[in-house]
Each structure stands twice: as structure tokens, then as C-alpha cells.
Structure 1
Amino acid sequence: MSLPSATSYDLVVVGSGPAGSTYVREVYDHHPTARILLLDAGPRLTDVPGTHVKNIPDPEERALAQHASEGPGPAGRPGTRLLGAPDLPAAALSTNIGGMGAHWTGACPRPGDGERIGFIPGTELDAHLARAEQLLRVDAHAFDHAPFADEVRARLSALFDPGRPGHRRVAPMPLAVTRRPDGAHIWSGTDVVLGPAARDPRVEITDRCLCLRVVLDAGTAVGVTVRNLADGEERTVSARAVVVAADALRTPQLLHASGIRPPALGRYLNDQPQIVHAARLPDHVVTTHRAVTDRARDEDGAIVPQSGVSWVPYTDAHPFHGQVMQLDASPVPLADETTVKPGTVVGLGWFCAKDITAEDRVEFDDTTTDAYGLPAMRIHYRYTPRDLTTIEQAKKAVTEAGTAVGIPLDASPVLLPAGSSLHYQGTTRMGPADDGTSVCDSHSRVWNIRGLWVAGNNVIPTATACNPTLTSLALAVRGASSLLHHLGSAAEHGAPAPQPALGTA
């Protein structure tokens, strides 16, 4: 842990999650002389920065890495801390190199119908999504060889496919995973997104380094002020461009702390109401596939394919998104894994598109600070009558899905506490015009502040039900193209020579 080694960079990225790492990778690939600083308030968990914790072979080391990611406050889901927000009681955050990219389930469905962003041309959005899939190594067929996968998908298809267009029918879930030669899987973290940038000296990755504010000069972002969390020392470093990618709650917090306070900042907060259910596959299906292993995980911790992960896509007529996954691929425990044969129980999770309103928001208190000394958060959040209707429709759909797949383990599905999805969006949303309802333009440039971009799920302006990571990376790819134009070539502007930090040789 340390302060940045230099005082001047071409690009400073605050937040090392998947979206922030996308900006680093795109600038690294296309601007070969750029000097880049990637900051995170959390610790580095692995030798290769940003590696997914599920890829840590030893279970004790894996648990230690998850604990180290929690930050101050009560623990939430492994790798997170609870925010303590009454209106969003399950809201939780990770603080580590790689962000939630070190803990996520890797689901990467493309948005469809109303989830897509109407003011970005469709061909452009699709190209950005394709690049995001490449960066994450998305594989739509990683679990095709799982012994129960075809059976589960066939049962879901019979229920949901009639009347759907071909591209929105039940399908294997596209996953950010790599299949090993032995058939097990390893998960993509931000180490995969960063690629060679993770080990190149011109990309400096600084952990336990808190960004206190973006420094402005005459309406232009010119750097950041940071604090070493180990000893409290502070320093300001200059930059030709700044990207804030600190998640959907801490990104608006940092902008607020920096005096950047457009009307939409923190508003349009969008969580996805999440409903869970579980079902056991029928005995005749299990006995048909005697080759299935009794192990949920390989000796080194990799997931062993069993029933895989299936996807029931969102449509405007079906305004929720379904994931049907083998139990150990689910982030939410749905049964006691010690009492069931691996692969025989599947978890069903349905995510609903939220009725987005400006009243759902995170506010910041200039008189009270959080554990890091930044303005304290207060969340205002509620389900509208439209949300309650959608939730009931989703409960009906997941109940039917559980019955179609096998034998439901519970009498009825459960609506998890608000915030459980961890898919928070919208708080620095993009828009086609600076009309007070958005924070940035369609290239993620903050309105009226030159040289400043925002990134992450918080940029997504639409009511999505699908997992948002792929979309946020696609928008980061789009934003990076405008950032590269801002930086220009080294010949045009001259890449700044790194300056030694104060107090160093």
C-alpha cells in the first residue's frame, strides 16, 4: 500500500472494478505511451491484481480474501459489507482491487427490448457489447456438457418460449468463465479485463489509496487528491483525464465531495427486486445421468459442471429476467448443500425491472462523514404500485418455472430484501441532453466538466432486469473511445513524463 509513485499521469481511474478496468485496458491498447494510474481504497487480494476469489484454490485463503474485501462495517454476503440503509436493507459494497469483479457470478446476458438504450444507435451498442464480451471472455456454451443442462433448458423452453422471438428464448446463460481442459471452470475477474495492462509498469495499480476528491480548474478535471489509508498521508496528482468508477453509490459520493453536483446526481437509483426459489430435479432425470460427479467443486476450488446456468431473457411482455443455476453457482444459498446430491438442486432467481423514479436516490450529508471521511450516505428507496405488480407477476413465473424443472423445495418463492441483487444502477445516468435528468452524455462524459468521465452500472439509464455488468462494460468501451480522442496521440499532445513523487528519489 502506498501513494502514487508519480505526480502526473495521462489518465487516473478511481475504482478498479470491471468498468474502471475497461477504461484502463482500452487506453492501454490504443495509446501506447499513456501513463495510467488505477486507484482503489481496498486491498490487493491476489498476486495478479483483480483475480476472482473463486479461483483461489485453498478455501481458507479464499475466505480470508473475501473477509479482506468487506471494509469497515457489518459483513454482508461474502466479500461485502452492509451499508446499513433502512430503505435498502441488503445494500452492500465490496472494497478491494477488482471490486465486485472479484466476487460476481459472471452472468453476462445482453440487454433486450426496453433494457436497451434508445439514444445509442443499435449497431454501435451491439459493437460495444461484442467488445465487452471479448474483454470478459464471455462464453455462451461453457456448461453445454453439464449432464443436466439440456434437460433443465428443455423444461424451461417448453414453458417460456411460445410466442417469443428467437433471440429472446430460453438459452444457456452467457458467462464470463473459461473452461479448463479437465472440464472445470475458472471465473473472469478484472485480471482478465486488464490483460497485459495488469503487469505493465506504465499502468500503476495502487491499493488502499482513497480518492478524496476530483480536482477542478476552470471547469476541467485536472487531477485527484488521494490519501494513503495506512498512514493518512495525502497527495494531489495531476491528470489529463479522470474516470470515476467507484460503483453506483460511491461514484456520486465522490462527485458530491468534489463539488460536482448536477441535479440528477444520486437520483434514479435502480435496484432489481430479486425473487428466489429452488427445485430438486426428478429422480428419473438424476438416475439417467449416472456419470454425474458427487463433487460440487474440484480439488482446487473450480466449479464442476452439473446443471449449468440457464437464462430466461427479459422481454417487454415478460419484464423480468430469470437465472436457473446449479446451486454452487448461485450467490444466494437456497438449500443445505451438505444434504443434497450435487447437481440435483437448482436455484431459480428472477430479477425485476424497476419502475425508475427520481425520488429513489442516495443523498449525501456534508455535516456527517462515513468511515472513510467522505460525506455520509442516506438512501431513499421504495417499491411503487407498478413494482409490486411486477413482483407478483415474477413470483408466478418463478413458481411455474420451479414446477416445470422438478419438485419445488419451498411452498412459495421468496422476495429478498431490497438491495439483495447488488445490481445498483442509475445514480450517474447518461442521457441524450443536459436537461437535468442525467449526469453524463452518451459517451459517459460528465456534463459541463471537461476531462471527467463516470463509469459502472450507475451510468445505465434504463430499467434493466438482466445482470448489468456486460452493459456497463459496453458503455465503458464507448466512453473510452471519446477519452482516447480527448487524450489524442502522443505526437499531438506529448505524453507527460512521469514526475517523481514528493519525498522520493
Structure 2
Amino acid sequence: MAVRSTADVVVIGHGLTGAVVARTLRDAGVEVLIVDGGTQFSARPATHLRNLAVCRTDRALYADLVAALLRPVSVPPAQRVVGGATVPGMPDGRGVNRAQRPDRALPAARATATLGGMSTLWNCLAPRPNPDLEWWPGLAVAEWTRLFERAEDLLAVGADLSAASRRHAYVLKTLGEQGLIARHIPVAGRATDDGIRWTGPAEVVGDAPIPLRRCVIRRLIRSGERITGVQAIDLPSGEVGTISADVFVVAAGPLRTPALLHASNVVRDNANLGRYLCDHPLAHTQVLLDPDLREDGPGVFVETPRTADRPFHGVLLSDGHDSAVLEGGVDDRLLVSLYWYCALAPRYDNRVVFHGGASDSLGSPQPTLEYALDASDRAITAAALADLRAAAAPLGPTLPVGPPRLTSPGTSQHIMGTTRMGADDRDSVVDDRGRVWGTRNLYLAGTGLIRGATAANPTLTACALAVRTAESIARPAHTT
């Protein structure tokens, strides 16, 4: 791979936030190159996998596909005894990690090596966070509103996909009778003659393609306050070379982004890298609606938003959650899954660290998680579980495989805060436009920038911040 300037801006990672940055810059006339080392699973690079014809017709297959593509982030090797002797566990790497303490882990946290990452698998729910409780005051309300509106436009958020659904109406009515705020949850997708076109990175980029290079980025090359290039391994040739540009944006996810910065040693003076790791503990159950409500169509898309006295965000979906339920003969049109996501305050001691020579499936340093709940966190999760039970009971009977419970830590796949945004470098990694402190041309995007105690799905917020970052790059005067 030749050493040459390939673009004005290189975006590392073809997830949703990377696509938002690239699309915004392209529309502003900036030359952009996206690089991603993930495996391509669709003819259209980084489309949402629910758009594949086979997944449209077989929901159980889609659930199996998602499960197959998600790999553990960091779990200790299993110990097995065979014939009275202990069998050696798997070597470190690809999620297996001898340094991982079980009591400080997020055992259900997953990563994927697909082109487009988790953004090709996400649930396409895009609610705005509570403005009074969850909008970081470092940005003005008017600015947050503008950014959310632009992000919603890019993600195709807004269509009420369940307007004609009797199941949806029943769930709204039943929750309202309990005194809960219940409303349609915004969904990222367009209604077409062939069904819903779910939003993935490809849908954000749109019909005018942006150059995409398949390569794995090993490290960023820094000289003074500038990143001068990236060391890349070209796929599938395996050739190693350097890609240079004027500006670099790392949008590789909340774990791989800090991993790349760590491997590159480009933020060596910032102790906040990987700190303030936050997750949404999740309470979950599944209920069956009355058979008279059986119907085809999108079904239930409902939220019960976080309020001052309910520090959790409830989501109700016509969702099998796992294919075993569907393949067991349950009519999934009657199935409603309830997800209650908890808002916990970020803490400095919760973090991801990188040590040793092991790597994940894309060659990034193997992460080790140091994460625990305190007494106040456990009180919130207990309250969420009680609230979930109360909300579920009037809707219908609970499935034996889906009783109300707190799921394994990390199940939400909503890791945040590891490269968080802030007003200065004392408690953050990037400034309020996503630029890494102490650098002039290195920016970050993704859920890692979110700094507050949120309960809503973080994708829309991350994309809104990505809009601001891209606009800052396109108009450099705004960075001063």
C-alpha cells in the first residue's frame, strides 16, 4: 500500500457515527475516505442485516445470525475437569482474558468483526434522551435540539411504523391505565413497498458512495500535536503501509477506539482514557398478548421514558429476543419483550484497560474490564425490576423462558464514557467538538463520548455529537 495522502479526512470505522461524520463531510464538499477491517456480510457494504432478503422472511434466522456474529469482549478462561485432570483453557485473545476478574466483568458484553460493526445489528431504536436529566449542559439546549434534528434526518427517524397496529394500541392503552407515560418510540427506518428499510451505516451514507478501504488500523502516527498518518494492513493482500490525511476521526466503538489510542500512545498524558466506563443494567421479561390481537405488520414499538422519579427507560417491542422462543412454536406476533434500561452515574474507577500482547478478532489490544455496581446502583436496578413486573402483569402471561429478571451485566450492549467529552482535560478525553485534548487534528466519535447518566438508547446521542464533530472539521474556524 503506497504511502500517500488519500483524502482530506480519514474516518476509521464504518459504524453509524463514522457514517454520520463521513456523510456530513461529503455533503460539505470535503474529500473523505472510510477505512474498516470488518468482514463484509452483504452486497451493499455495511447495510443493516435486517434488510437482507433472508432475514426479512425468517426472523428466527436473523436472531441466530446476530448471535453468531457477537463475540465476548472479555471473559476469563473456563476451567474444565476431564478424567480428574484440569484441562487447559483457551489462550488469551479474542475475548478470552486471564487478567479478567469475574467480579469486575461485563460477561454479556459483546463485540463483532463485521463491516459496520454493531451498527449493522442494532435494534434501530432512536429516542431522544430526557432534556432535563440527560442533556449535557456543556452544550446549549438550542444546539442539542439542532443536532438531534439533523441526526434524526440522517438516520431516517420519525415514521410511526405501528400506527395501524392493534397490538401497539393495546400496549399503549394498558400502560396508560397504570399511570405510566407511554408513547411510540422513534425508530430509524423507512417504510417501503417491500417493508421497512432499517437504517445501518450504508443507509446513512446514501446512494452517492463514499470511498471505502478495507484495512485494519494498527496505530496512529503522531508528530507533535498532529497525527500524520496511520499504519494500516490492507485486506486481503496483507500489505502494510501508511495512510495519511489532514484530519483523522476514530469511530471504532467504545472499546476499540480507546484500544487504538492506547496502542498508539497518542494520549499518554491523559489519565481519563478508558475511565468512566458506563453501561445500562437491564431488567427484562416477555409476555404473550391475547390471541385476538394476532395480526401481521410491525407490531409494538413503545417506550416509557425516564423521569425524575423513575431512573430507567422502558422499551416494549414485538421481539422474540432469541430464536429458541420462535422455533419452539410460539406465535411471535403475540410476543412482547419488555426492556427496562437503568441510568447509573458514571464513576472514575469503572474502566477498560489494556495490557499484555493478546488481541481481539480485528487485532485490537484485548480489553480488560474493571466494572462494579455500588449500593445506589443496586437500588436502582432493584427498583427497575419491580417497575418492570408491575408494567408487565396487566399485559398478559409471562413466558416461562422469560420471567422478570435482571440480565447478565453487559446485556444492553450500551457501553459509554470510555473517551468522554468534557470542558477540559481534567475529566475528559475530547473537547466539546470531539477533538482529542492536546492534538490539532485527531477527533473521536461514538458512544464513548457520552458522559452523563443516561437511560435511553445512546445511538442517537452519539450520532448527534458526530454531526457536531463533522461540522467542526468542515469549518476549522469553529475549533479555535
**TM-score bin, normalised by smaller chain:** 0.7 to 0.9
Q: For residue 107 of structure 1, what is the amino acid of its counterpart?
A: L
Match among 87, 99, 116 for residue 98 of structure 1: 116
Paired with 2:168 and 2:110, the residues of 1 have a C-alpha distance of: 31
CA 1:368–1:11 in structure 2 vs 1: closer, same or farther (change >3 Å)? same
Q: Which residue of 2 aligns with 1:136?
A: 155
Match of 2:207 in 1: 196
Pair 353,140 (structure 1): closer, same or farther in 2 beyond 3 Å = farther
1:239 and 2:229 are equivalent in the alignment: no
Q: Are 2:278 and 1:280 aligned?
A: no
Q: Tell me which residue corresponds to 1:442.
A: 432
Partner of 1:314: 306
- TM normalised by structure 1 equals 0.83
Shift of 1:19: 0.3
Counterparts of residues 216-255 of structure 1 (less than 5 Å): 216-255=222-261
SS in structure 1 at match of 2:432: coil
**Structure-2 separation of matches of 1:371 and 1:109:** 31
Change (3 A) 1:60 1:131: closer
C-alpha separation in 2, matches of 1:4 and 1:25: 26
What is the Cα deviation at residue 223 of structure 1? 2.0
Structure 1 position 366, deviation (Å)? 5.1
Q: CA deviation at 1:46?
A: 2.0
How far apart, in 2, do the equivalents of 1:94 and 1:238 lie? 27
Q: Tell me, in whole angstroms, the C-alpha distance in 2 between the residues paired with 1:397 and 1:140.
A: 29
Aligned-partner Cα distance in 2 for 1:232–1:134:
38
* Structure 1 residue 414, shift from structure 2 partner: 1.6
Match of 1:468 among 449, 458, 463: 458
The corresponding residue for 1:271 is: 279
**Does 81-90 or 119-128 show the bigger shift?**
81-90
CA contact (8 A) 1:79 1:103 kept: no
Mapping of residues 121-132 of structure 1, within 5 Å:
121-132=140-151
The answer to whether 1:174 aligns with 2:166 is no
Q: 1:10 to 1:377 in 2, by over 3 A?
A: same
Would the alpha carbon gap of residues 432 and 42 (structure 1) be closer, same or farther in structure 2, given more than 3 Å must change?
A: same
Secondary structure, aligned partner of 1:128: helix
The counterpart of 2:421, out of the listed 413, 420, 430, is 430
Whether contact under 8 Å (1:53, 1:62) holds in the other structure is no
1:7: Cα distance to partner?
3.7
The corresponding residue for 1:415 is 406
The reply on whether 1:305 has 2:298 as its aligned counterpart is yes
- Note closer, same or farther for the CA distance 1:128–1:231 as it changes in structure 2 (3 Å cut): same
SS in 2 for 1:175: coil
CA-to-aligned-CA distance 1:102-160 (integer Å, 9 cap, x gap): 11110000010322111110110111001110001012511111221111111112224
TM superposition shift of 1:217 = 1.6
2:456 & 2:111 partners in 1: Cα distance? Answer: 20
Deviation, 1:67, is 11
Partner residue, 2:35: 39
Match of 2:173 among 150, 154, 174: 154
CA distance in 2, matches of 1:67, 1:153: 26
Partner of residue 214 from structure 1, selected from 212, 216, 220: 220
Task: Specify the SS of the correspondent of 1:404.
Answer: coil
Aligned residue identity for 1:389: A
1:327–1:319: structure 2 CA closer, same or farther, 3 Å change rule?
A: same
Kept after mapping to 1: 8 A contact 2:338/2:388:
yes
CA distance in 1, matches of 2:263, 2:199: 33
* CA spacing shift, 1:160–1:17, aligned 2, 3 Å: farther
Query: After the TM superposition, which parts of structure 1 deviate over 6 Å for at least 4 consecutive aligned residues?
Result: 60-63, 65-69
Give 1:72's aligned residue.
none
Q: 1:235 to 1:5 in 2, by over 3 A?
A: closer
SS at match of 2:133: helix
Compared CA separation, residues 369 and 42, structure 1 to 2 (3 A): closer
SS of 1:58's equivalent? helix
> 2: CA distance between counterparts of 1:180 and 1:118?
38
Q: Distance in 1 between matches of 2:211 and 2:280?
A: 35
Partner of 1:110: 128
Give the letter for the 1:227 counterpart: I
Q: Residue 356 of structure 1 corresponds to which residue in structure 2?
A: 346
Query: In 2, Cα distance between the equivalents of 1:96 and 1:281?
Result: 35
- Tell me: CA distance 1:68–1:230, structure 2 relative to 1, closer, same or farther (3 Å): farther
Q: Which residue of 1 aligns with 2:26?
A: 28
* CA deviation profile, 1:285-327 (whole Å, cap 9, x unmatched): x32x46x24xxxxxxxxxx323x21001112311101111112
Secondary structure at the counterpart of residue 227 of structure 2: strand
Q: Is the 2:282–2:407 Cα contact (8 Å) retained in structure 1? A: yes
Query: Is the contact between residue 16 and residue 116 of structure 2 (CA under 8 Å) also seen in structure 1?
Result: yes
- Check the 8 A contact 2:74/2:367 in 1, yes or no: no
CA apart distance, 1:231: 3.9
Do the aligned partners of residues 195 and 4 (structure 1) sit closer, same or farther apart at CA in structure 2, a change above 3 Å counting? farther
1:373 & 1:149 partners in 2: Cα distance? 44
DSSP-derived class of the 1:263 partner:
coil
The one-letter amino acid paired with 1:316 is: A
Contact conserved, 1:147 with 1:305, CA < 8 A, in 2?
no
Q: Match of 2:245, SS?
A: strand
Which structure 1 segments of 5+ residues have no match?
70-75, 162-168, 294-303, 489-505
User: Is the Cα contact below 8 Å between 1:54 and 1:62 reproduced in 2?
Assistant: no
Structure 1 residues 214 and 358: alpha-carbon distance in aligned structure 2, compared to 1, 3 A threshold: same
Residues 159 and 189, structure 2, Cα contact 8 Å, conserved in 1: no
Asked if the contact 2:353–2:369 (Cα under 8 Å) also holds between the matched residues in 1, the reply is yes
Q: Give the distance between the partners of 1:46 and 1:278, measured in 2 at CA.
A: 31
- The answer as to whether partners of 1:140 and 1:172 remain within 8 angstroms in 2 is no
Distance across 1 between alignment mates of 2:303 and 2:117 = 25
Query: What aligned pairs does 1:268-417 form with structure 2 within 5 A after superposition?
Result: 268-282=276-290, 286-287=291-292, 289=293, 292-293=295-296, 304-306=297-299, 308-328=300-320, 330=321, 332=322, 335-336=325-326, 338-365=328-355, 367-410=357-400, 412-417=403-408
Tell me if the contact between 1:4 and 1:206 (Cα under 8 Å) persists in the aligned partners: no
Q: 1:477 to 1:467 in 2, by over 3 A?
A: same
Task: State percent identity of aligned pairs.
Answer: 32
Are the structure 2 counterparts of residues 260 and 48 from structure 1 closer, same or farther at C-alpha, using a change threshold of 3 Å?
Answer: same
Supply the RMSD in Å over aligned alpha carbons: 2.6
Which amino acid in the other structure matches residue 453 of structure 1? Answer: Y
Structure 2 letter corresponding to 1:173: I
CA distance in 2: counterparts of 1:406 and 1:67, whole angstroms: 24
